[in-house]
Amino acid sequence: MSDANTARLERLSGMLKRRGVLLPAFEIHGGAKGLYDFGPVGGRLRNRVNQTWLNHWLSLGNIVELSCPTVTPYAVLEASGHVGEFSDFMTMCAACEEASRADTLLESFHPNPDSLSKADLQALLDQSQPPCPSCNAVDWTKITAQNLMFNTTIGAGRSGRPGFLRPETAQGMFTSFPALYRHNRERLPFGAVQVGKGYRNEISPRQGMIRLREFNMAELEYFINPHEPAKHDFSAWDGHAITLVADEQGEVKMTFSEAVEKNIIRHETVGYFMAKTFDFLTKVGIDAERLRFRQHEADEMAHYATDCWDAEIHGSYGWVECVGIAHRGCYDLEAHENATGKTLRARREFDEPQVVEIDGWTIDGAKAGPAFRALAGAVKVAVENLPSETNFPIELTLESGDEVVVKSEHVKRDQRTETLSGEWYIPHVVEPAFGIDRIIWHILDHAYDEIGKDGEEYTTLRLSDHVAPVDYCVFPLFEKDGMGELAKTIHAKLCMKPDVVSMYDSSGSIGRRYARADEIGVPRCITVDHQSLEDQTVTVRSRDTGEQHRVHIDEL
């Protein structure tokens, strides 16, 4: 990072702290690593970003909003793969209280203990009894999952069950699939969104808002039918060439249409969400020139994903991944199906019912059962694979290697017509996952504008109207002759309007007050002057142009 850049970053961070946008949390107690407060200004900003995000996706029409618990039972995150991916399994020596990683202790007893589940590790530990590396005792406590997810206990005392604070919001949406499917009249595609907190007990949180232990995230799970080709219209984005860093082609600039045509973006729905993500990010004030999409390389991609793109934003910390858009296939729903035995599927009807003519053989249970006993099941499979013209008796070699003679009395002709009108399948999921804190950081970074004004440094936060935390500042030019009263009336009126935030400020010169408003990005300032008292008009001054025009109070 250049010195100029570092200095700017320090001034920006100082301003954010001074003006109550972002502050270290619990600072009077010495602070806590990886935890931040959104202050009196930042709290509103965060909420506006969240709301803009929700509206952006809900406007697609087939998206619903969910809110799932952050406290999540162990089994859920074990099924999703997080326990294995995000945890180290620890055990403690009861003699010397030294904590050790179970997989490290068991390295000489298993080729790859890292791959074992918690239960398998426990079994292997009980069986192999490795000595404690520091005191040589053999007395290990029960294995517990440690590290990247915050452990907790759900319930008290002996009835408490292990759980975690969720490391992402997605799992609750997957486990809610049956309710979503019913709500959407059993028709795909549909999506669910959730805005909320996620928790990761990072070893070393760094770089301010970039890596946090408690963070705001917003995720969309879009469920699609893999048997239906995804068709999306990208013409709305044709005017804009996007920077793509593709796995094979490297950095290229082209429209979304082209990227999909050339199969650089491998799935249309992924491309569609990339385009919508581009819209969202620019809407909240991210500079399109400092935005790019980077494709995960094959070996970097999570094993279940078929295509994955990150939206990266360039700011004070270089290029930072702020959004991940992944085609997750059927991985998640299948994982929860396997773990629970419940069905997480959708039904699709075939265009034409599939008529299957079955003309072959099957066993006659009453005869073949007693004749083949334990082998009867395997005989049935073998017989049903025989062509219809088979003559009996016949000698068959079963899967198991056993040889049997099947006589005609053991079998019967199986001739029927089966009609399949459709099938149950596991939907595929395309998941855009947004790191809200990282996006907010870059909104602030991109909006922070320092200009030399009359030889002095002057800072303006050029926030988009969608996310500006304060909509209006109301100033009396002087707080006398009734100007203060009129300004307070206008301020009160604005505050009454739904979703409008207004601030009243009468201290300091008018220029100082404009400067204060500009620093936190208030788009419009309203000033009451002497003329206002006569004709009920006020001046409205716009932040970015400094232009003023007179407006009647009733038109505000």
Partner RNA sequence: GCGGAUAUGGUGUAGUGGUAACAUAGGAGGUUUCCAACCUCUUGUCGCGGGUUCGACUCCCGCUAUCCGCACCA
- Contacts with RNA by CB under 7 A lie at 1, 10, 13-14, 17-18, 24, 30-34, 85-86, 148, 200, 202-208, 211, 300, 310, 321, 324, 453-454, 456, 458-459, 477-478, 507-512, 514-516, 518-519, 527, 529-530, 538-539, 541, 546-548
What is the three-state SS of 68-101? CCCEEEHHHHHHCCHHHHHEEEEEEECCCCCEEE
CB closer to RNA, 359 vs 547: 547
Structure-token match 């669910």, residue found: 192
In the complex, the smallest distance separating the C-beta of residue 11 from RNA, rounded to whole angstroms, is: 7
Q: How many CB atoms lie within 10 A of CB 175?
A: 20
- In order of 83, 199, 421, 434, the CA distances from 118 in angstroms are 9, 21, 43, 31
Helix axis angle, 3-18 to 436-447, nearest 10°: 110
In the complex with RNA, which residue's Cβ is closer, 337 or 479?
A: 479
Name the residue nearer to RNA (CB basis): 46 or 211.
211
Helix (H) or strand (E) holding 260: helix 256-261
Q: How far is the CB of 543 from RNA (least distance, A)?
A: 9
Q: How far is the CB of 138 from RNA (least distance, A)?
A: 26
Cβ burial, residue 29 (10 Å; 0-12/13-18/19+): exposed
Q: How far is the CB of 458 from RNA (least distance, A)?
A: 5
Report, in Å, the least distance between residue 542 CB and RNA.
8
Element housing 274 (H / E): helix 268-283
Amino acid at 14: G
Identity of the residue, 91 or 295, whose beta carbon is nearer to RNA in the bound complex: 295
Which is nearest to 345 in space by CA: 354, 332, 356, 328? 332
Closer Cβ to RNA, 150 or 458, answer by number: 458
- Which residue carries 């208030």 as its tokens? 522
CB of 472 to RNA, least distance (A): 14
- Ranges of H-type helices in 284-354: 331-340
Give the nearest distance from C-beta 165 to RNA in angstroms. 15
The minimum distance between CB 253 and RNA, in angstroms, equals 22
Closest CB 29 distance from RNA, rounded Å: 8
Concatenating the DSSP letter of every residue in 91-156 gives: EEBTTT--EEEHHHHTGGG-S-GGGS-HHHHHHHHHHH-PPPTTT----BPPPEEEESS-EEEESS
> Please, which residue, 311 or 383, has the CB nearer to RNA?
311
Nearest residue (CB) to RNA, 274 versus 368: 274
**If DSSP codes are grouped into helix, strand and coil, which group holds residue 406?**
strand
Tell me whether residue 517 is exposed, middle or buried, using C-beta atoms within 10 angstroms of its C-beta: 0 to 12, 13 to 18, 19 or more: buried
Nearer to RNA, 85 or 97 (CB): 85
Integer Cα distance of 448 and 231 in angstroms: 39
Comparison of 310 and 437: residue with beta carbon closer to RNA:
310
Query: Smallest gap, in angstroms, from Cβ of residue 203 to RNA?
Result: 5
- Distances 199 to 15, 33, 325 between C-alpha atoms, Å: 27, 13, 20
**Dihedral sign from CA coordinates of 253, 255, 256, 259:** negative
367 or 516: CB nearest RNA: 516
The answer to whether the beta carbons of residues 415 and 362 sit under 8 Å apart is: no
- The residues near 46 (Cβ < 8 Å, ≥ 6 apart) are 38, 216, 436, 440
